[in-house]
Structure 1
Amino acid sequence: MKITNFNFVTVALVFGLITSAFAQEDPTTFLNRANAKIAKAMAFKNNWDGPTTGPKIAAQKKLIVVIASNLKNNSVLRVSKGVQEAAAVAGWDVFTIDCWGVDSKHAEAFSRALALKPNGIVLAGIDANEQPKEMNAANAQNVPVVGWHASTRIGPSDGLFSNVTADPKEEALIAALLGVVDSNGKAGVVVLTDPASLYSQAKSNEVAAVIKQCRTCSLLSVEALPITTSADKMPALLTSLQQRFGKKWTYIIGVNDSYLDLLAAPASTAILANNKIQTLSAGEGSESAYQRIRNKRQQIATVPEPFGQQGWQIVDELNRAFSGEKASAYTTPAYLVTEQNIAFHGGDKNTFEPNNGYRAEYKKIWGR
């Protein structure tokens, strides 16, 4: 990678000036600002920056129902496990309903969840706006719903007591800027996004906006592909892109690592290698992504989310709802993983596990 050695004092001074609203400017200035933002994202701190106060866990046992979009999805599975781990500490019961990646099952699963008369519901990977009837029913029954990637917004939104998520625009900004820096301001970018997901579209829109703001870069195409696209369809797409853009095409930015998983088949890998295409992801942090980055196979970076920590936060948000307090609306800063820092914060286990003591911090809050 062409990432320069960073001056972290400069990072602190410049960070406040950098947002997704980069105007087109002198390419050198743009590149310097991008470098500073990337340095900030790579330097994840060990200290806890989340909530330090909140309600204790009540003695009364609670029933939490997790409605999971698809437990075969690594992200959803890890968040669900985080909820189960934290709920066990709280002394709560957890019942999980898996929708198996079938959107038409969401409403049915929500109705099943309400029929169990739970104390709280977790909507994991399902857009709250898609379930207005069920969300209204939950609110009418005073059943708080905490989402994970259930809205493009952080904290209370769309009928949710709180939505736990990374900032999709911040993740996309970091990924796009890395493409700019790694190419020395000459990236020719194709973006892969899911047309069925507002969360994914928020990311791809931000990636596109940042690349357009780089005067010497090129946004070649935004390809809308359902996340369920099979890997055997990718070689034809890659061949088409190569024919359309030739040597101008140098980078693929996926809205998450699942798209880059689709590129890992031998036929796709060969096309990318022959055309010297680099890939990076604007989110997730899957095990396969970590392995590709570590082994320097095609993927140069990912912007992972701390799924286990998010599971604990979901339980904390529910406890705040049960106690009549406001949501913490906390979100972790964006963290960029490259070969340079992959050994830290859970990277040795191919996941983003912040070394910030979040379990102990939440236990202090809960009186556990």
Structure 2
Amino acid sequence: MALSVTIDPSDSGRLVFSQPITPPQASAFLWTKPPASRDALRPDPGERPMAGAQRRFLIDKSDLDLVFSLRHGLANQYVRRIQPIMAKAPATLPAWMPAHVREQILAFKLPSGVHRFTGVKPWGDIVVWIRQGTYMQVEAYQEYPQDIAFYLGLAGGNARDARLLLSVYTQFNADLRLLVEQRKMSPADARDELRRINDAVFKLVIEGTVAMLGTGASMTAMNTTLRSLSTNIVATARRSQVTRIKPINGKLNVGGGHETPHMTNLNPIKAGSGGPSSGISNHVRGYMEDMDQIFVPRSVTFMMSSRLRFVDVDWTAATQAAAKVMQVGGKVEMNIWCQGFQAQIVKKAFERAGFRNVTISGKGTGTMIFAFR
């Protein structure tokens, strides 16, 4: 039986041979001159080899020189799938990409590597991945907004849903950045990796990302795509909540920064709040209002805050969430910047949530709230 090979329809980075062969045999079959890179072709770890031979292999499809030198008609199949920008045709890039970024790409001014450009607010950075070779390979994407106001618009003003969307999309930004900038994957391969290892939530995010990467996707179209997906993402995220965690030693600093490196610091990284935006030890990104979605019930024995602004918290929702995660007898010592009757509002919120012995000390930026669960 003659040996043949096909591209896996569910994963274009996987080649499937008609019969088991060894890696050297696969490489010799695919290329006239086998590539030197060890990552060019790898055995699929999902298949158990027999006597060193197997049918499925993974190819580095981000290397166009490698892909376009494939034999047996595979190169043409990849060309149809990838649809690269060829030098003889007018090159087009996504409509959301600013003119100055397009000009640098099309003028071949960017060397191989990852390049960041400031995006149009509220959207994040534009990330351009370049690989120079016989062909210049270009992949680009724009990071999702990190402004809660943007997600309030998507969620129809529902603050809880907006915070959940913010968490999902900013985590996607962080994961993609890790794979592209630290692990040196192309953006397409990074999205494939996230699709493989993550749950249904990120699969929906990737669906939206791919839709927005089309050359005709304007800013308006991008926002429309996100809005259409937001309801499903919120519902799916709630169904597939990751396992809740326990704070270090039962201690939690709400809005915590650098002052408490030996406890868990719950901080949403909110612009304009005056708090730190990076380098926080034991950082868990989130709002006090969502504590019950983050921490194990009755796992918090001590809750504090330093310089937490009254205006940054929905105190009814926050104290109710705190009541669910604090142990009976757990202690509260929170410094909250209050004015006028704001301290009384916080006190009543704690009392309505079931906290005992709620007292106020100090005023203004020195306001302290003490309580027991």
- Comparing both structures, which one devotes a greater share of its residues to strand? 2
- Comparing both structures, which one devotes a greater share of its residues to helix? 1
Of structures 1 and 2, the larger Rg is shown by: 2
TM-score (norm 1): 0.22
TM-score (norm 2): 0.22
* Bigger relative contact order (CA 8 A; separation at least 6): 1
